[in-house]
Amino acid sequence: MSLSTIGVIANPVSARDIRRVVAHAGNLQVTERVNIVVRLLQGARAAGVARALVMPDRSGVRALLERHLKQGDGTLPEIEFLAMPTLGTVDDTFAATRLLARAGAALVVVLGGDGTHRAVARELDELAAAGVAPLPIAGLSTGTNNAFPEMREPTITGLAAGLYACGRIPAAEALASNKLVEVSITGGDAEHGVRRRDIAIVDAVVTHDRSVGARALWKTTSLDAAYLAFAEPEAIGLSAIGGLLQPVGRREPGGLAVQLARDARHALVHVRAPIGPGLVQSVPIASWQRMVAGEALTVSAQAGTVALDGERELTFEPGERVTMTLREDAFHTLDVARCMAVAAREGLLRSTACSNP
């Protein structure tokens, strides 16, 4: 068995925002989150992983997982909870990502929706800029809008993560590169030249709202424009608007910028898009264009907020300039399907009859 280490960040409160309330969507309970983590770790252990570093929490995931560990059936790797304070906010995810990157984890498995995965990718992006070696992400969908993470049985993700972590599948075959949209805000009355920067791994959406308020974005009436790293027609969330106009795959070059119309009279077309679970709304579209990597697009709205992967994060005022830039090959994720295909092709999970009586 290899002593390779994987990291696990399980958002204990994903899938609990206002979008699920208005759409009558269910919440993922703590017990089921723990079951997902256990199945993930059982798969990783079967592939050779001996140690897992797990983010602690205040919502009961740690307590239930520790209770499971007391059974000691040998199907799980050694589990160590990261030594960090827990605040019950996104800062926990940021801190855990930093600790995992510096602890030498082979990759981080993330349980959450688009927002949780964005938080991990954002912190990894900051660490990469500081010279810290990049850490691949293996995503599991447990959030509200899940355009980015995959809906997959966690046992399979655990097997693929374990095969990669133990060096049995090389990075060239195991990993896939991903795009993101970089948001920059410059200028302002207080101090010219101040630069605010953030990222979105799926969609950066500009609204006319002047305050953040409820962070989750689920009404389309205030939308001004959407800048999409990728846009798949089967996705749910704001990226579905672009996916039903001009699909852009997550692995193909370029992105998509969509300008929404002020009202029905100014619309070129209307798109009925599933912007949340059970929420299909008609969105008036004025125009759309492909985004080219490295070319900054200036937002036309004079003031408002920018929602990153479904949640309002940034406000901007008159006199500030907002630009959106697509970056390709920005971070890496584990390609679970390809890993399992390699495992089958190379016989990585086979054993002889006499060794397994």
CA-based end-to-end distance of the chain: 20
Q: Which H, E and C letters describe 255-309, residue by residue?
A: EEEEEECCCHHHCCEEEEEEEECCEEEEEEEEEEEEECCCCCEECCCCCEEEEEC
Per-residue pLDDT of the chain (357 residues; tens, 9 = 90+): 345 999 999 988 654 444 444 445 455 678 888 999 999 999 999 999 999 999 999 888 888 888 877 776 778 999 999 999 999 899 999 999 999 999 999 999 999 989 999 999 999 999 999 999 889 999 999 875 678 998 899 999 999 999 999 999 999 999 999 999 999 999 865 455 657 999 999 999 999 887 655 555 657 788 999 999 999 999 988 999 999 999 999 999 999 999 999 888 889 999 999 988 888 999 999 999 999 999 999 999 999 999 999 888 899 999 999 999 999 999 999 999 999 999 999 999 998 765 443
3-state secondary structure of 339: helix
Domain boundaries, the chain: 5-177+331-355, 179-329
Q: Which residue, among 228, 84, 91, 75, has the nearest Cα to 155 in the 3D structure?
A: 75
Q: Which residue, among 221, 164, 193, 192, has the nearest Cα to 48 in the 3D structure?
A: 164
What is the gyration radius of the CA atoms in the chain, in angstroms? Answer: 21
Indicate the CATH number of 5-177+331-355 among 3.40.50.10490, 1.20.1530.20, 3.40.50.10330, 1.10.10.10. 3.40.50.10330
Spell out the CATH class of 179-329: mainly beta
> Do the beta carbons of residue 49 and residue 4 sit within 8 Å?
yes
Burial class (CB in 10 A: 0-12, 13-18, 19+), 116: buried
3-state secondary structure of 325: strand
